Amino acid sequence: MAGGLSALGVYGTLKFGFNTSLMPVEHFLTKHGLLKPDDITRLVEHMDQTGDLFGSKIIAKAWTDPEFKSALMKNANKAISESGITVNGIPFQPENYEIRVVENTESVHHFVVCTLCSCYPINLLGNAPEWYKSLEYRYRAIYQPRALLEEFGLTIPQEVKVKVHDSNRDIRYIVMPQAPKKPAGVENLDALVTRDLMIGVRRTLDL
């Protein structure tokens, strides 16, 4: 990590808005061979994919609150800031970019890339996965989108249109997956909404 910051320290700083001061623990574990740097990277990746995310809570609320969903699709920044949603007691921290939410339907599948660099809504989805920042992903998302999605295990039927959204410095996209048939009756609804669903490299919920 740049500047000597630990992976776990950066994770805490970016995701929750404070430094978790885990560098001494990380140093001890790696020094004594109890943990490898690659293990830490995989741990951070797992936490980002499955932990509490603002994006997950926002999507879950949109599924069960039509008024909020309407506001979210019109002006996501305003709707999120006024939603009162928190993660671990911490309110949403807005950034200087526009958030746009795009909704999957039976006939359209959305997914997100940043072809310029790796622009990504950290305040909604946690740290960007390494593959999102790779040149291969950024290139193939534009020129071979269906083939790229198949490598994530996602085959999009030909009758379903694939729309690729290119995030940049000023605009960041997140995908709203299709809701369960009766979302209000599903417990822990936000836990179903993973980072990969909101990037668009997955399509269906694990019910």
Output phi, psi for 99, to 5 deg.
Answer: -100, 130
Sign, CA torsion 5/11/17/20: negative
pTM, 2 dp:
0.76
Residue 23 has pLDDT above 70, yes or no: no
- Domain positions in the chain are 2-50, 55-199
User: What CATH number is given for 55-199 in this structure?
Assistant: 3.90.330.10
Output phi, psi for 176, to 5 deg.
Answer: -95, 110
* Bridge partners (DSSP) listed for residue 166: 113
Q: 135 CB contacts (<8 Å, ≥6 apart)?
A: none
- Is residue 37 within 8 A of residue 26, CB to CB? The reply is no
Query: Quick one: 183 exposed, middle or buried, by C-beta within 10 A (0-12, 13-18, 19+)?
Result: middle
Least confident residue range of 11-25, 63-77, 88-102, 122-136 = 11-25
- What mean pLDDT is reported for the chain? 83
pLDDT for position 186: 79
Work out the pLDDT band at 88, boundaries 50, 70, 90: confident
- Is residue 37 within 8 A of residue 30, CB to CB? The reply is yes
d(C-alpha 147, C-alpha 153), whole Å:
10
pLDDT for position 137: 96
Per-residue pLDDT tens digits for 122-157: 889 988 888 999 999 999 999 999 999 999 999 999
Q: What are the catalytic residues?
A: 114, 117-119
Alpha helices for 6-133 (secondary structure H): 7-16, 23-31, 37-50, 54-64, 66-74, 76-81, 122-125, 130-133
Work out the pLDDT band at 87, boundaries 50, 70, 90: confident
Per-residue pLDDT tens digits for 31-79: 777 766 666 555 555 455 545 789 999 999 999 999 999 999 999 999 9
Work out the pLDDT band at 196, boundaries 50, 70, 90: very high
pLDDT for position 14: 39
Least confident residue range of 10-24, 50-64, 100-114, 181-195 = 10-24
Residue 20 has pLDDT above 70, yes or no: no
pLDDT for position 185: 74
